[in-house]
Amino acid sequence: MRLIFVSLLGTAWSQVAFYIEPVRYFTLEGQPYVELFLGVDATSLRYVPTSQGYEAEATFSLVLRDAEESPIYADKFRFALPVLADTHLSSRQRIYVDVRRLRLAPGSYTLEVEGSDPRQLPRPQLVKAITQFQVPDTGRKFHFSDLVFAKGLRARPGQGYERHGLSLEPWVSNGFLIDPETLVVYGEVYHIDSLTQDPYYLRLKIVDAQRAVELPEYTSVKRPRRPGPFEAFAFTVPLLRLFSGVYLVQIELCKNDGEVLASWYRRFTLFTSREPMAEGTEAEYDERYGFPEKKLDELLAGMTYLATPVEKSFISALNTFPEKKKFFVAFWKKRESRGAGLTFKEFLQRFEYAQQHFKSSLRPGWRTDRGRVFIQYGPPNDMQFFYNEPDKYPYQIWTYNQIGSQGQVIFVFYDPDLITGEYPLLHSNKLGELQNRNWRAFLLRARAASTGETERYQRFGSGGAFLFRDDQTIGFTRDDR
C-alpha cells in the first residue's frame, strides 16, 4: 500500500532530508503488522525547471532485516514530488509521505534506508538512516497500536491517511514539531474486553519531560463506553501555549473507578517561535555571576540538559563572551521569574558534584550519563552499588522516590569495559529515558561475550535490537508490571 500526502514543516538542508517511522498495528485476530512511513522534506531537494513547472525527486532503497540480520524485505524506488509553480520557500515547506504495509512475525527488526537527490550539485550524496523496532508477541488478546502524530483531521475522505473512518494528515518527522497550532494523536486499542467487562474510558495526558511535570490543563478524556474488540481514537491537543521543549503524550486506559489498566506514550520535541525570551545584560552577569569565559562555557554546556530546543540552538550559536553573558543571565532570569523549577544555585551545586564524583577517563563528570541524570533530576533518594558479583559487570542502581508525577523511578548504570569508569546508562523506567527490559541480561559477562549483546548495545544505544524505541516505548498492563 502506498499513499502520498502532505504536511507542513520547514528546514534547510544541503542534502536530502527524510524521516522513517514504523507504526505497529494488529488485526482483530491478534496478528501484528507494520506500516512503514517515509517522509521526505521538500526543502532539502533541488527543484529544476521543466515545461510543466518545477520538479524534484529522490531515490530510495529500503532493507528490512530480522534479528538474525537476514533481509526479509527490500525495495528500490524513485520518489517523484508533485510539480510546483515556483520554488519559493513557502511552496516547498512540505513533507511528502510514502506508506507501505508489511505483515511481520513477532521479533526484532532493523530497517535501513538510503536516500539521495539525483539532481543535487555538485554530485548526489547518499544519506543513510537506521531504525530498530520490535513486533510484540501475540500471546495475549489485549494490544494497542503505536501512536501516530498528525497535523489535523481532513474533512473529506480519500485525501489523507485513512484509518477506520478517520482521514489524517500525518506528521512524519520523528516527533519534531515546528510551530504547530494543534496536534492530533491517533491510536488503536484491541480487545479491551479481555481486560475488563466494566465500562472504561481513554485519557490523554501531556507531560513536560524535562521537568518531569504533568500539565493538567492539557488532559483530555473520551466518554466512557462498554468494552469491545476494537476502538480507534483521535485526540486533538492545542499547542499554542506550550513553550519549546520535550514532552510526552501519554494514553491511559482506565476503568470508571479511575484504575489504570494500561498506559503507553510517545515523545515529541516542540520548537516554537512564539516563545517569549527574557533579556539580560553584561552588567547583570558581572554583578551576579562573574565566571571567567572557560567556566561559563562549561556551565552553558551543562545547561543544555535543562534547556528547551530553542535555547539549545541559541547556546550552540553563541560565539563571543558578551553574547554568552547575556544569554546566561536571560536563561536563569526566565526560570527564576516563574518561581518553579531549578534555580541557578541548585544547578551549580549539582554541576559541581557531578564534576567531582562522576568523571571518567574519557570525559568530565557533567558529560557522563550519571552526571547528566544527577544534574537533570537531582540527587537520588537511594544509591546501591554492586561491584563484586562474580558473573556480572559492576553496576549501580539509583532510586528516586518521585520525579514529577512518576514515583519509584530507577536508573541502572553499568561498567562494560572495566577501564574507563564511564558507567553508561543501561536502563530506566523513567518516561522518556532509555528503557531496556533485558537489562539484567546485559549485566551477565558470559552471556554478553557469547551473544555480543554488550557490543550491540554500545553501537546502537537506545535503538539496540534488545531495546525498545526511545520515542515509543511499550506500556504495561496489570499482568505485565
pLDDT (mean) for 48-56: 90
Considering the domain boundaries, does residue 351 fall inside one? no
Q: Are residues 131 and 30 in the same domain?
A: yes
Q: Is the pLDDT of residue 476 over 50?
A: no
56 CB neighbour count, 10 Å cutoff: 24
Of 27-31, 68-72, 424-428, 435-439, the least confident: 435-439
Q: Over the range 291-306, which residues count as b (16 or more CB within 10 Å of their CB) and which as e?
A: beeeebeebbebbebb
Q: Are residues 159 and 247 in the same domain?
A: yes
Q: Are residues 267 and 299 in the same domain?
A: no
Q: Are residues 3 and 128 in the same domain?
A: yes
Percent with pLDDT over 90 in the chain: 56
Total number of residues shown for the chain? 481
> Peptide bond before 157: cis, by omega within 30 degrees of 0?
no
Q: Are residues 268 and 291 in the same domain?
A: no
Considering the domain boundaries, does residue 82 fall inside one? yes
Considering the domain boundaries, does residue 361 fall inside one? no
The band of 299, judged by pLDDT with boundaries at 50, 70 and 90, is very high
Q: Are residues 409 and 446 in the same domain?
A: yes
Which of 244, 360, 352 minimizes the C-alpha distance to 299? 352
Rounded CA-CA distance 180/150 in Å is: 10
Domain count, the chain: 4
Q: Which residues constitute the domain of residue 173? A: 140-274
Q: Are residues 82 and 161 in the same domain?
A: no
Residue type, 353: Y
Q: Are residues 152 and 93 in the same domain?
A: no
Considering the domain boundaries, does residue 312 fall inside one? yes
Rounded CA-CA distance 218/123 in Å is: 47
Considering the domain boundaries, does residue 183 fall inside one? yes
Q: Are residues 92 and 173 in the same domain?
A: no
* Average pLDDT of the chain to the nearest whole number: 84
pLDDT (mean) for 54-69: 94
* pTM as predicted: 0.71
Q: Are residues 7 and 133 in the same domain?
A: yes
Q: Are residues 35 and 89 in the same domain?
A: yes
pLDDT (mean) for 335-347: 81
Q: Is the pLDDT of residue 381 over 50?
A: yes
Considering the domain boundaries, does residue 363 fall inside one? no
The band of 340, judged by pLDDT with boundaries at 50, 70 and 90, is low
Q: Are residues 309 and 238 in the same domain?
A: no
Last residue of a domain, one of 274, 291, 323: 274
For cell 480519500, the residue is 158
The interaxial angle of helices 293-303 and 344-357, nearest 10 deg, is 100
Q: Is the pLDDT of residue 38 over 50?
A: yes
Q: Is the pLDDT of residue 407 over 90?
A: no
CATH code of the domain containing 127: 2.60.40.2550
Considering the domain boundaries, does residue 359 fall inside one? no
